[in-house]
Amino acid sequence: MRTDITAILASTVTPQTAADLTERILSAILLPRETARLSRLQIIRWRDDAVRREFNGRNYTEIMRRYHISLPTLYRILRQRRRREKFS
């Protein structure tokens, strides 16, 4: 499947761009299936890590909207980061 998609795209764009687009297409298709196999705890950990990475101190409404979390949940996630940094 990967080779077929890359070959089709390579006729219109550079080979590197075709490979990049193929990876994006496949990840968009396969990611939901892989996510379905993850446990609830794994999904929450992934979400919390993403929130910590993306939070810059001012974008709390954007983060809350993107990850469908409440303000108390955002504060809890950020508090966990401070605890980890404190004990590291």
pLDDT tens track for 36-53: 666 778 888 889 999 999
pTM of the model: 0.53
pLDDT tens track for 1-46: 667 777 777 777 778 777 777 777 776 666 555 556 667 788 888 8
pLDDT for 69: 93
CATH 1.10.530: does it fit domain 40-87? no
Domain ranges of the chain: 2-37, 40-87
Q: What is the DSSP string of 31-77?
A: HHHHHHHS-HHHHHHHHHHHHHHH--SS-HHHHHHHHT--HHHHHHH
Alpha carbons 13 and 3: distance in angstroms, whole number: 15
Alpha carbons 14 and 75: distance in angstroms, whole number: 45
